[in-house]
Amino acid sequence: MNLLLDSHIVLWWLSDDKRLSPRARRLIERADEVFVSAATTWELALKVSLGKLRMPEGFLEVVEEQGFVHLPITPVHAMAVRDLPRHHRDPFDCILLAQAMVEGLRLVSADRALAPYGRLVVRV
């Protein structure tokens, strides 16, 4: 299975946070490929600039050291947002959902608001 990680899942994995469930850890460890979207990097960088959180030094390299693959945002991903049901309005989550849909990935998230998206999301 190929996975796309929601922003909080990436941070929890990198910081070995206890909020990352054992199920989520197993999924990530057993995945064929694990992707981190440019949207996640953008969202986290934005929150750092606003003083809302801290990011690991060398975030991009740390992601790669974990064996994760950076997933750029393409025009196809951007256009796919229009085909999503309007259950959720967060633009970062919408692009992650669109990327998962286009690329055949499962979005790993603990966000209950994403539950209506069914099989696109693995809620952990």
> Position of tokens 């994995």?
13
pLDDT of residue 88 exceeding 80, the answer is no
CATH number at residue 98: 3.40.50.1010
pLDDT of residue 16 exceeding 90, the answer is yes
Residue 56's pLDDT band (cuts 50, 70, 90):
confident
Task: Tell me if residue 40 falls in helix, strand or coil.
Answer: helix
The pLDDT value given to residue 44 = 96
pTM of the model: 0.94
User: Structural domain tally of the chain?
Assistant: 1
**DSSP characters over the chain:** -EEEE-HHHHHHHHTT-TTS-HHHHHHHHH-SEEEEEHHHHHHHHHHHHTTS----TTHHHHHHHTT-EEE---HHHHHHGGGS-SS---HHHHHHHHHHHHHT-EEEE--GGGGGGGGGEEE-
Taking the C-alpha atoms of residue 71 and residue 4, their distance in angstroms, rounded to an integer, is: 9
Residue 22's pLDDT band (cuts 50, 70, 90):
very high
Query: Within its chain, how far is the Cα of 60 from the centroid?
Result: 14
Residue 72's pLDDT band (cuts 50, 70, 90):
very high
Domain boundaries, position 11 = 2-123
pLDDT of residue 19 exceeding 90, the answer is yes
